[in-house]
Amino acid sequence: MGKQVNFYMTVEDEARFLGFVRSTGDVAILPYASPTRDFKPLQNLSDSPIPKFAGAFWLQNRSVSENLVVRSVSAQGYFTVDDDRSSVIQFLRSGLKEKTMHRGRIWAEFKYLDDERKLFLPKEAGFSEWYATIAKWIRKNYKRLEDLIYAGPGAEKLIEEGFTLK
């Protein structure tokens, strides 16, 4: 079973968050989907190769695991990361539209199905620890709004200015 932390972030909050994430090891930010099997790390989140998925990414700490399994979504004509088999964190961006803030999240699965033994096995211990480090950073640096929902400092200001949360 996976774990998640939900949040509201402004662009500035996101930059600070991703700066922290990158400081935790050899971290690659990968697009959610790619037209080819080759997932090239992004320097900027705006460089997503498939615009339809511009708000979703994979975070991979290659210091923890090189485990990256890609699968084809042939009916749609793209490839994506198999998050059940890969040691990655899904990162969905928080967004702003008019005076409404949309929630983002980090999410990860910590077990995978071993096809040969038909058992669920844990992913690398370091992967779980890395996720916990990132989740802890959010909980420490952001204001808790509800259970598992946090707001970054910039998002807090927008909430005070009357932005609606969705």
Are 137 and 20 in contact by the 8 Å Cβ rule? The answer is yes
Q: What are phi and psi of 93, to 5 degrees?
A: -70, 145
Which pLDDT tens digit goes with each residue over 45-71?
A: 988 888 889 999 999 999 999 989 999
What's the rounded Cα separation, in Å, for the pair 163 and 156?
9
Which pLDDT tens digit goes with each residue over 107-150?
A: 999 998 777 777 888 899 899 999 999 999 999 999 999 988 99
What's the rounded Cα separation, in Å, for the pair 101 and 92?
13
Neighbours of 119 (CB within 10 A): 10
